[in-house]
Amino acid sequence: MTLSFRPEILWSDALLFLLLAALAVFAWQVGRHEHLREPWRRVGRSRMGMGAAVLLAAYALVGILDSLHFRPALPAEPGQPVHYAAEVHSVLDTLVGPLRTQVEETYSAPLALHLYAKETMELPDGRQVRDFPRLKFGGAHLAGVEARAGDIAGHIGMGLLAGGVASALALGLALVFVGLGAGPQGPSGSPGHLGITGAWSALSRSSSLAGLRAGLIVLCLLLLLAAAVIQLAPHYHILGTDKVGQDVFYLSLKSVRTGLLIGTLTTLIMLPLALFLGVAAGYYGGRADDAIQYLYTTLNSIPGVLLIASAVLVAQVYIETHPELFDTAAARSDLRLVFLCLILGMTSWTGLARLLRGETLKLREMDYIQAARAFGISHLRILGRHILPNVAHLVLIAVVIDFSGLVLAEAVLSYVGVGVDPVTASWGNMINGARLELAREPIVWWQLAAAFVFMFALVLPANLFADSVREAFDPRAGGQA
Amino acid sequence: MRPWPVPVFLLILAALLAACGGPANNPHPAGQAGGRILFSAFESRPKHLDPARSYSENEVVFTGQIYEPPLQYHYLKRPYELEPLTAESMPKVTYHGADGGVLPDNAATEAIAFTTYEIRIKPSIRYQPHPALATDAAGKPRYFPISPRELVDIDDFQDFTATGSRELTAEDYVYQIKRLANPRLNSPIFGLMGEYIVGLREYGKQLEKEAAALPKDAYLDLDRYPLEGARVVDRYTYRIRIRGKYPQFVYWLAMPFFAPVPAEAERFYTQPGMSEKNFTLDWQPVGTGPFYLAVNDPNRQMVLRRNPNYHPDAYPTGGDPGDADEGLLADAGKPLPLLDEAVYVLEKEDIPYWTKFLQGYYDTSGISSDTFDQAIRLGPDGQPDLTPDMGERGIELSTAVRTSLWYVGFNMLDPDIGGTGERARLIRQAVSIALNYEQFISIFLNGRGIPAQGPLPPGIYGYREGEAGINPAVYRWENNRPVRRGLDEAKALLARAGYPNGRDAATGKPLTLYFDTMASGPDAKSRLDWYRKQIGALGVQLIIRDTDYNRFQDKMLKGNAQIFEWGWNADYPDPENFLFLLYGPNRKVEKNGENAANYANPEFDRLFLQMKDMPNGPARQAVIDRMVEIVRHDAPWVFAFYQKSFGLRHGWVKNGKPNLMANNTLKYRRVEPAARHAYQARWNRPVWWPLALMAAALAALVVPATLAYRRHLRATARGA
Amino acid sequence: MLNYVIRRVLYAIPILIGVNLITFALFFVVNTPDDMARIHLGAKHVTPEAIERWKVEHGYDRPLLFNQEAEGTGKLTETLFVNKSLALFALDFGLADDGRDIAREIGTRMWPSLAIALPTFLVGLAVYISFALTLVFFRATYLDLTGVVLSVVLMSISGLFYIIGGQYLLGKLWHLVPVSGYAPGWGMFKFLILPIAVGVVSGLGDSSRFYRTLFLEEIHKDYVRTARAKGLSERVVLFRHVLGNAMIPILTGAVVVIPRLFLGSLIVESFFGIPGLGSYTIEAIQAQDFAIVRSMVFLGSVLYIVGLLLTDLSYTLVDPRVRLE
């Protein structure tokens, strides 16, 4: 028996899974140590933090679904070996099904039934007229524009209903969770069974559950929205179509993965470098410090865009000279993405390294570390036990803060022409294309708006989450007055 | 503590500006709009303004107005027709046998060993005022030699206060032909002209030897050796001698490559210290044309100003039928040029250019595909017309089919889709059908193109209209128009090639094709998506391999590309200039020729040699028809489309007939400054209320807080 | 003091050599001299002989790093790297590949860059600090909350949107400023308003939040409490004490970028058509003009090092307790 698909692990997928594994290990570590758990509890209690976290998790879900790649098998004649399509699909592609394949001719406005450009059409009697033709898919089941409003309302109603059910389910789960006291401690301060009413009053009032409450509210809203979209999207282009008629909503969803990968993989690449070099420079001092300082001053002093531009060109040459490594188009554009992350990582580690060096320099002079050294405890042990845990919050804060900056940087790099592959769906590519659309009259605004909303809905929670993490780990910087 | 909020700051600034008069958003200095000045833009800075080097369209915009070759294209007449410019008459052509003897005009091509062109120029044409030609009281060159000390104080080209002029002589034309061989100039046509002009290649070798012996920037005296193929006969006459018969040569005589350059200029510019200040012939031209380059700031703007020494020249008195009705003959007989100045501003992006055009700050504009819907409405018969909005603004549209061709080439050396094999040919034809250029033109060009039926665009001799002109491999003739064959036919071809449904019939392996491109950017993305979609409809995978310019060139040179897009802009209006793109010995690989598909068909090559030297006529047409038929059958290219160029200009710009061959059209243009001034003021009334609103919003936010804070302070003060 | 400066300048030399080596390596991995020749000679009718000639003429005919054929030290010195890099240290940038003098070009293009970057920087600094101080002044009121939320919202918008939006509104819809362009002299005024405003607004979220945090950190310190206890007005506390003490971190962040202002902003300049060094650099990358890219990288590094030096010096000015060893 043969599979009807072949899983395909792209480089970026592999790195993403590595990152997820690392996160799991980190979470496990945090769970084991009370003093590490405490700041995370504070994050959990923060309304802003939890609300943002739910949104981020939704993005992450889309990103991960889009990272499970496979190649479907082609229908084979009996007796022939099975061949797989050259096109790589992701689980997300399968889930959104019709969005990917329902391609129109060119622009159409959100929820439109007609194309946005007039076309010359031939009437049955041979005469030619120039008019807006009907879309092939968007609202094709309707007789005319008059039926649209009712149809849309119907779909949304259905969606809201389904979303309401799902929300109720989520709420119920939360109540059980709180009621069993498995969650944060109840208002009485002691874990225990609260009963449904007790759980409800705790959930709706307790200040220690404020985070959970906010998270739940965001989750419910998200579920309602998602359900409505799921109802509507197969029948309409809810965010319109682009120049070649692709569904803009689908493109925006596909861009999520690109944005997330650039924000996270870059960090994954930069982290070991920054951690190792920064701490080493601060701790050992002397020659090592000089060498590392030389390295990062040199790298730092090169204007970033030039460095990135040249490095991206190098990556392209590599891809070009090794065509045998990439049997699919996806693999080619994927590698360019990985290279971009790599390059961004190589150029952005210097800031964190410098910060870590300074902090380590300070820590080194601390009494307890001096004492540890006096007792002859090995350097590695001191680094591992005393220094690393004490700089971990710096790393964390830097990572969370960098994330949004990197997502934004992708757009700018695409503008300069050294961003991701032009065939990769990304917000940068969308904005770049939309710049031209703004000059059209009537104006084509939906692609720009979609990129704006999707980006904003990722970067804003990322910033808010970063804030609450920073506050939780470093109450001084919190700034409540 | 009162930070100045940005909007308030802006408001004050803007108010100041508004007080200065004129629309606040005018990018040009106030007052210029009233002059006989044309405002236009250039997209990328010209690299070379030396007539021996410049070849790109964006350079010829300038060199075409400054330099004058002996011939020019008639401004109004179509098909394009050459006429004398500085020459007194058209060149006198004589044929010679191998022994040098003169042959009759109707001599057989094989018998002709050499052709001589004798050109006599008009007397008393004078150069623009230029420091290289300045003389002192004694008649000696003023700035040659120039002392390093004197040069120190000269920072700008305008600092050369003394200028001079002299009469144009035949010697200057010969000098320029010699310059084509100058190894330091790397003239783009040296290779080609070396094949034709007698002794030019050897002359180049000689100069190279000499240049190697000299210091890097020393003066290379081109007059030390005679060039056999270009000789001065008398003060106003010179002769060019070329190998064999090359009737197309006369077209080259209308390009700036064959414009005169005074030897004094070269000597002036090669003095030490000059090139460091960007004083080079490549940068500060000296010509006899209607305009001279007054401001050369390629980072910002280039200004062409009327040449005070321009020779008598008049607007043509006759043109095509219909020209008079369109007002194109209103200026007939008037002395040229009709403008005092032309200002070209650097404008790298389409959108600001378009916006400023609509605001009336540029007089002319092209149309990008994104601005098309705003500007153009296609009539029921597909004829383009301006939208009512544009019409109200008095904007006018001119269209012309460009003498250019876009095609998608197959690398004929590719093992899978190249070669003469039947299988590969069927795949190529299937792809030709699948790439639906009617759709492409509608999506990406807004109809500004004609689906190509063969290698020759309309307006070139040999092009056939109607049913006789269709490509039967891709089209059928139905209802009096060409109809693209259906996808099912393409699939059937693919099945015949052994790939039913895009899968290898024997192994079931899917067929994969590769598209090589150097395109990047948002527009390219949608175009590449389109290609994938079209080929995908055949069940065939198209993989895009995109690279940078260098890598792409390299792939093409080595023959590693598979499918690629390519375009060709005619140098001159003759079928030879298109069909040579498919001539075997002219292939890209090894020969570095222009035959990018590396197509080679012995029959085609034989016919090409025959067609090349024939005069236009039924015999030539027959040969061309046969050649086109061969190419359609072999399908080394997907004939994509011939581009239509749409130009917009404001109503105050006159005499705007597009002439795609002539370079020197600026002298015919005229503007009506008063109308322009009035329109600019009307279209650019500033809108202030949003700023006021912003300021108010800010105040609404700050004032209550300040009040609240004051109250709070007072309360605590009382409390304490 | 002087010793310190000299030491720092000497320290810069190995860094600059490193920078040169990196850019050189990066550039020639992707650009063979043949490629460069082909780009500069244009697409039509280029012969191999012309490419050879171009390389000889522009000095690209030597080996990259090691010359097999030369004698003695010539093996190392008669190479592309040494020839093309050494001159930089004398600030002799040579000719660009289109034959124009780079130093001269930098000299003229620096001014438009500066005309945008310096006001953006100064106005920005003033606006951000005032905005942050305002927020701190009104801390814990709805104004502070609104301000913080606004900052986060502003931060979460890509800079490209500000430029696109600004051009669309102010230039196209309201006819208040030219959409893009530049003019020397007094005429430049109207061209600068929009880029500067966009530059300031796009940095508003990030910077004012940063400054607000700095100020808040100061405000919780003991000396502020003491000052307040002495009965000093909030205004005096904020301006004299908080601002004064927060100056050090502000300076570290700000001074280091001042010299680099010369290089201009790549994105803003290319959007607004400002003929500055930023657009020069972008064009050079696109045209693969190695001579220009190398010069700009070198200049950028020099300016960065100068910035670091200035930062250190400014410490001593602001805070007399800091002494340079």
**pLDDT at site A397:** 76
**pLDDT at site B19:** 46
In chain B the domains, ranked by start, together with CATH numbers, are 6-24+690-719 (no CATH), 49-280 (3.90.76.10), 404-645 (3.10.105.10)
Query: In terms of domains, do C21 and C132 share one?
Result: no
Report whether A84 contacts A72 (CB < 8 A).
yes
Asked whether residue C324 is domain-assigned, the answer is no
Residues of B in contact with C126 (CB under 8 A): 3
Confidence of residue A478 (pLDDT cuts 50, 70, 90): very low
Q: Which residues, other chains included, contact B290 with Cβ-Cβ below 8 Å and sequence gap of 6+?
A: B65, B306, B307, B310, B313, B336, B337, B664, B666, B667
User: Residue A442, preceding bond cis, omega within 30 degrees?
Assistant: yes
Please report, for residues B570, B591, B664, C275, the alpha-carbon distance to residue B657 in angstroms, rounded to integers and kept in the order given: 19, 39, 13, 33
**Phi and psi of B21, rounded to 5°?**
95, 155
Query: In terms of domains, do C138 and C64 share one?
Result: no
Instruction: State the distance between the two ends of chain B, measured CA to CA, in whole angstroms.
Output: 24
- The pTM assigned to this predicted structure is 0.80
- Interchain proximity C181–B27, CB inside 8 Å: yes
Report whether C299 contacts C106 (CB < 8 A).
yes
Asked whether residue C295 is domain-assigned, the answer is yes
Asked whether residue C131 is domain-assigned, the answer is yes
What's the rounded Cα separation, in Å, for the pair C74 and B379? 72
3-state secondary structure chain A: CCCCEEEECCHHHHHHHHHHHHHHHHHHHHHHCHHHHHHHHHHHHCHHHHHHHHHHHHHHHHHHHCCCEEEEECCCCCCCCCCECCCCEEHHHHHHCHHHHCCCCCCECCCCCECCCCEEEECCCCCEEEECCECCCCCCCCCCHHHHHHHHHHHHHHHHHHHHHHHHHHHHHHHHHHHCCCCCCCCCCCCCCCHHHHHHHHHHHCHHHHHHHHHHHHHHHHHHHHHHHHHHCCCCCCCCECCCCCEHHHHHHHHHHHHHHHHHHHHHHHHHHHHHHHHHHHHHCHHHHHHHHHHHHHHHHCCHHHHHHHHHHHHHHHHHHCHHHCCCHHHHHHHHHHHHHHHHHHHHHHHHHHHHHHHHHHHHCCHHHHHHHHCCCCHHHHHHHHHHHHHHHHHHHHHHHHHHHHHHHHHHHHHHCCCCCCCCCCHHHHHHHHHHHCCCCCCCCHHHHHHHHHHHHHHHHHHHHHHHHHHHHCHHHHCCC
**Domain count of the fold of chain C:** 2
Which of A102, A103, A120 is most worth mutating to test chain B (most B CB atoms within 10 A of its CB)? A120
Q: What is the DSSP letter of C78?
A: S
Query: In terms of domains, do C74 and C172 share one?
Result: no
Q: What interface predicted TM-score (ipTM) does this complex get?
A: 0.78
More confidently predicted of A306 and B67: B67
% of residues, chain A, pLDDT over 70 = 88
Query: In terms of domains, do C82 and C129 share one?
Result: no
Query: In terms of domains, do C50 and C163 share one?
Result: no
Query: In terms of domains, do C68 and C132 share one?
Result: no
Report whether B595 contacts B579 (CB < 8 A).
no
Do β-strands B237-243 and B230-234 pair in parallel, antiparallel, or remain unpaired?
Answer: antiparallel
Q: Burial code of B650-662, b = ≥16 C-beta within 10 A, e = fewer? A: bebbbbbbebbbb
What's the rounded Cα separation, in Å, for the pair B313 and B311? 6
Rounded to the nearest 10 degrees, what angle do helices A248-284 and A11-32 cross at?
60
Q: Is A79 a residue whose pLDDT tops 70?
A: no
Mean pLDDT of chain A: 81
- Interchain proximity A417–B508, CB inside 8 Å: no
Name the strand (E) or helix (H) holding B523: helix B522-536
Q: Does A80 touch chain B (CB under 8 A)?
A: yes
**Phi and psi of B640, rounded to 5°?**
-85, -80
What's the rounded Cα separation, in Å, for the pair B226 and B238? 13
Range of the domain at C157: 104-318
Asked whether residue C298 is domain-assigned, the answer is yes
Alpha carbon B234 to its chain centroid, in Å, reads 36
More confidently predicted of A348 and B717: A348
What's the rounded Cα separation, in Å, for the pair C205 and C203? 6
Q: Chain C window 230-259: which residues touch B at a Cβ cutoff of 8 Å?
A: 234-235, 238-239
Q: Burial code of B265-299, b = ≥16 C-beta within 10 A, e = fewer? A: bbebbbbeebbbbbbbbbbbbbbbbbbbbbebebb
Report whether B551 contacts B559 (CB < 8 A).
no
Q: Is B1 a residue whose pLDDT tops 60?
A: no
Looking at C90, C113, C146, the residue that finishes a domain is C90
Report whether A139 contacts A150 (CB < 8 A).
no
Report whether A474 contacts A397 (CB < 8 A).
yes
Query: In terms of domains, do C201 and C299 share one?
Result: yes
Tokens coding A239? 């965010």
Q: What is the mean pLDDT of residues A254-268?
A: 89
Q: What is the mean pLDDT of residues A131-158?
A: 86
Query: In terms of domains, do C193 and C115 share one?
Result: yes
**pLDDT at site B62:** 94
Q: Chain A window 443-462: which residues touch C at a Cβ cutoff of 8 Å?
A: 448, 452, 455-456, 459-460, 462
**pLDDT at site A475:** 54
C323: closest CA of chain B, how far (Å): 33
Name the strands in the sheet holding A5-8, side by side, starting at the edge strand that comes first in the sequence.
A5-8, A69-72, A89-90
Mean pLDDT is lowest, of A100-104, B31-35, B644-648, for B31-35
Looking at C90, C125, C156, the residue that finishes a domain is C90
Do β-strands B237-243 and B670-671 pair in parallel, antiparallel, or remain unpaired?
Answer: unpaired
**Pick from A120, A130, A429: CB nearest B522:** A429
Please report, for residues A137, A277, A283, A392, the alpha-carbon distance to residue A364 in angstroms, rounded to integers and kept in the order given: 66, 15, 6, 15
Report whether B170 contacts B235 (CB < 8 A).
yes
> In a 10 Å sphere around its CB, with 0-12 CB exposed, 13-18 middle and 19+ buried, how is residue C156 labelled?
buried
Please report, for residues A117, A240, A475, B400, B638, the alpha-carbon distance to residue A132 in angstroms, rounded to integers and kept in the order given: 6, 15, 60, 27, 30
- Interchain proximity A433–B525, CB inside 8 Å: yes
Name the strand (E) or helix (H) holding B396: strand B396-401
**Pick from C41, C57, C131: CB nearest B3:** C131
Report whether B448 contacts B641 (CB < 8 A).
no
Q: What is the pLDDT of residues B120-137, one digit of tens each?
A: 999 999 999 999 999 988
**Pick from A416, A452, A480: CB nearest C266:** A416
Q: What is the mean pLDDT of residues B213-221?
A: 81
Q: Does A131 touch chain B (CB under 8 A)?
A: no
Asked whether residue C99 is domain-assigned, the answer is no
Q: What is the DSSP letter of C238?
A: I
Asked whether residue C109 is domain-assigned, the answer is yes
**pLDDT at site B337:** 93
Query: In terms of domains, do C84 and C191 share one?
Result: no
Give the residue from B498, B502, B562, B495 showing the smallest Cα distance to B536: B502
What's the rounded Cα separation, in Å, for the pair B553 and B451? 27
Q: What is the pLDDT of residues B574-621, one digit of tens each?
A: 999 999 999 999 888 887 788 999 999 999 999 999 998 888 889 999
**Pick from C173, C182, C187: CB nearest B29:** C187
Asked whether residue C98 is domain-assigned, the answer is no
Residue indicated by tokens 């990030």: C206
Give the residue from A170, A173, A172, A201 showing the smallest Cα distance to A187: A201
Query: In terms of domains, do C134 and C283 share one?
Result: yes
CB atoms < 10 A from the CB of C149, how many? 12
Confidence of residue A301 (pLDDT cuts 50, 70, 90): confident
Q: Burial code of B381-417, b = ≥16 C-beta within 10 A, e = fewer? A: eeebebbeebeebebbbeebbbbbbbbbbbbbbbeeb
C179: closest CA of chain B, how far (Å): 6
pLDDT by position in tens, chain C (length 325): 678 778 878 888 888 888 888 877 777 766 677 777 776 676 555 667 777 877 777 777 777 767 777 666 766 677 777 777 777 777 777 777 666 788 888 988 899 999 999 999 999 998 998 888 888 887 777 778 888 888 888 888 888 888 888 888 888 888 888 888 888 877 788 888 899 999 999 888 888 888 888 888 888 788 888 887 887 777 778 777 888 788 777 877 788 788 888 777 888 888 888 889 988 888 877 666 777 877 888 888 888 888 888 887 777 776 666 555 4
Alpha carbon B715 to its chain centroid, in Å, reads 76
Query: In terms of domains, do C52 and C142 share one?
Result: no
Q: Which residues, other chains included, contact C159 with Cβ-Cβ below 8 Å and sequence gap of 6+?
A: A408, A412, C202, C267
Report whether B559 contacts B589 (CB < 8 A).
yes
- Interchain proximity A404–C155, CB inside 8 Å: yes
**pLDDT at site A477:** 45
User: Residue B145, preceding bond cis, omega within 30 degrees?
Assistant: yes
Residue indicated by tokens 């500085």: B86
Query: In terms of domains, do C122 and C221 share one?
Result: yes
Report whether B437 contacts B494 (CB < 8 A).
no
What's the rounded Cα separation, in Å, for the pair C168 and B355? 9
**pLDDT at site B522:** 56
% of residues, chain B, pLDDT over 70 = 93
Report whether B359 contacts B25 (CB < 8 A).
yes
Angle at B304 between CA C104 and CA B70, to 5 degrees: 110
Q: What is the mean pLDDT of residues A314-332?
A: 70
Residue indicated by tokens 């801390």: C139
Do β-strands B301-306 and B341-346 pair in parallel, antiparallel, or remain unpaired?
Answer: antiparallel
Asked whether residue C185 is domain-assigned, the answer is yes
Q: What is the pLDDT of residues A56-74, one digit of tens each?
A: 999 999 999 999 988 888 7
- Interchain proximity C234–B713, CB inside 8 Å: yes
- Interchain proximity B373–A242, CB inside 8 Å: no
**Pick from C38, C98, C275: CB nearest B47:** C98
Chains contacting A (3+ CB pairs below 8 angstroms): B, C
